[in-house]
Amino acid sequence: MTDHTVKAFDKEIVGLRTMLAEMGGLAEEQLASAIQALSKRDTALADQVIHGDDRIDELERQIEENAILTIARRQPMAQDLREIMVAIRIASDVERIGDLAKNTAKRTHAISEPLPRRLASGLKRMGSMAQLQLKNILDAYGRHSDAMAMEVWRSDEELDALYNSIFRELLTYMMEDPRSISQCTHLLFGAKNLERIGDHTTNIAENIHYLVNGKTLSEGRPKKDTTSTFNPADE
């Protein structure tokens, strides 16, 4: 590439990173608001989250379109091509995280009774863990840090373990009081959404590893979700 072409390519890469940073920041805000809306049964805040998802979707479309145009114009190789492909993959995961936050917020409308204190505490802790994983993995991408990415990748086991605990507790509530089945089912959906967000952060971690090292991660993914036979849809 000529110097002019290299400068133009660098500018396009910076543009992709900037849009991804905006997208990630919005996803963080959406997730925090969704957790607060569910825990406090704040339907007005839930509606803000639901309507706010459109901007995340639009950014993903822009990133994909710009990335494809950059590939067509510059025909990048090796590290440069990985940078573009990883940006597309991460944008897809962040978009799914936005969808999961929106779906969690939707559950707020179906929760009519205050949550039992122990359960509310568990969900809040799970939400905090999901938020921290998202923040840390976005930081890892911004710094191109494989070490930070692998730390997030390994930490997903903790989120799975907490989800298993909440799952069992909700089943206990439903068995003890059939009147709680409807509310507990919606909470199960909400908790599963948070667990799935952890899965998407591990996807991003694996893509950062590929970006930095030029090869896929050889280790098996850490996974401690023992409730796979119950897999609520996130749509």
Specify the pLDDT at position 230. 47
Contact (CB, 8 A) for 202 and 152:
yes
Specify the pLDDT at position 76. 84
Specify the pLDDT at position 6. 63
| Burial state string for 138-174 with b = 16 or more CB within 10 A and e = fewer than 16 | bebbeeeebebbbebbebbbebbebbbebbebbeebb
pTM for the model:
0.89
Q: What is the mean pLDDT of each run of 10 residues along the chain (235 residues)?
A: 66 94 97 93 96 96 95 87 95 98 94 80 91 97 96 94 93 89 91 96 97 87 60 45
3.30.390.50, 1.20.58.220, 3.40.50.10470, 1.10.600.10: CATH of 3-213: 1.20.58.220
